[in-house]
């Protein structure tokens, strides 16, 4: 499973990062605005799980459902 957190360092980004860390989920961080725009992402944070793009609320739900 490939997980990438697209983050600008905003408060919501930090919340999602903390949740991932607390669950011990391994992920990469990408802070490139150009990469986010290429994916059609207009606001951060976004969690990409394999090929699925999860906006903040969806991402929090996904993390909360993990182990």
Determine the pLDDT at residue 22.
96
> Under a CB-based contact definition with an 8 Å cutoff, are residues 49 and 39 in contact?
no
CA distance to 23, 29, per residue, from 16 (Å): 11, 11
Closest CA to 45 of 3, 1, 2: 3
- The tens digit of pLDDT for each residue in 24-63 reads 999 999 999 999 999 999 999 999 999 999 999 999 999 9
CATH number of 3-64: 3.40.30.10
pTM of the predicted structure, to 2 decimals: 0.93
| CA angle (5, 8, 11) in 5-degree steps | 95
Determine the pLDDT at residue 23.
95
Question: Domain ranges in the chain?
Answer: 3-64
């Amino acid at each position: 499973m490939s997980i990438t957190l697209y983050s600008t360092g905003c408060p919501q980004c930090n919340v999602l990062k903390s949740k991932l860390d607390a669950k011990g989920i391994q992920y990469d961080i990408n802070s490139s605005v150009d990469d986010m725009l290429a994916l059609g992402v207009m606001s951060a944070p976004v969690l990409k799980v394999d090929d699925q793009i999860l906006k903040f609320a969806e991402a929090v739900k996904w993390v909360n459902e993990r182990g």
